[in-house]
């Protein structure tokens, strides 16, 4: 993925994935590539760079986005789809922006964010792999996931997750370019 000095290598793990798969394979591969893009864009950065804010008054940072996407993964797959009663990771009712506000330049905070994100991604991947069908549903009565306030299928959840990552990858590109000028990949 990257050379020892943090430059992109010629190997891109997003290439050569399945191309003629069915619907589940296609959706899972698109989400896998979006998740890999996040990791690739953050590779080689120290805690200070990960926590560097975009521009005032925004609190957006790469670290904040990792924490935010860990929350999204958890809320979507563990809580919504699997029905688990799992507490939020970085936010609360009184601190809705805790994922970004708590993104401070501390190596332990960075490590905890990546650990949380990877744990939630692992859960989501297992959940999707074990689901009998993309037609399984969950209930989103408060419309927190774009259901309109009703049932959502796993298919819709996967598309929504791809959309969420895609929405933030532009932010990630700009943040990384601001940090060290690195563009591409």
Burial of 23 (0-12, 13-18, 19+ CB in 10 A): exposed
pLDDT digits (tens, 9 = 90+) for 148-178: 677 889 999 999 999 999 999 989 988 998 8
Domains in the chain, ordered, with CATH? Answer: 23-180 (1.20.120.450)
Residue 121 clears pLDDT 80, i.e. is over it? yes
User: Average pLDDT for residues 14-35, to the nearest whole number?
Assistant: 81
Residue 1: per-residue pLDDT: 47
Helix, coil or strand: residue 102? coil
Helices (H) and strands (E) in the chain, counts: 6, 2
The C-alpha atoms of residue 92 and residue 95 are separated, in whole angstroms, by: 5
Q: List, in sequence order, every residue forming a beta bridge with 2; answer none if it has no partner.
A: 8
β-strands 137-139, 151-153: how paired?
Answer: antiparallel
| Nearest one of 11, 70, 37 to 175, comparing CA atoms | 37
Q: What is the pTM of this model?
A: 0.86
| Nearest one of 41, 62, 153 to 104, comparing CA atoms | 62
């Amino acid at each position: 993925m990257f050379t020892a000095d943090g430059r992109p290598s010629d190997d891109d793990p997003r290439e050569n994935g399945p191309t003629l798969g069915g619907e589940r394979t296609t959706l899972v591969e698109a989400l896998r590539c979006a998740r890999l893009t996040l990791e690739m864009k953050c590779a080689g950065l120290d805690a200070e760079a990960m926590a560097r804010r975009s521009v005032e008054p925004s609190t957006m940072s790469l670290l904040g986005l990792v924490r935010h996407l860990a929350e999204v993964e958890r809320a979507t797959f563990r809580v919504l789809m699997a029905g688990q009663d799992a507490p939020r990771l970085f936010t609360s009712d009184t601190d809705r922006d805790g994922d970004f506000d708590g993104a401070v330049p501390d190596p332990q905070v960075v490590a905890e964010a990546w650990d949380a994100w990877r744990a939630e991604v692992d859960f989501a991947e297992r959940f999707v792999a074990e689901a009998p069908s993309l037609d399984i549903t969950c209930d989103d009565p408060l419309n927190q996931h774009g259901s309109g306030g009703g049932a959502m299928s796993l298919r819709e959840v996967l598309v929504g997750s791809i959309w969420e990552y895609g929405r933030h990858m532009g932010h990630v590109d700009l943040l990384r370019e601001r940090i060290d000028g690195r563009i591409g990949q």
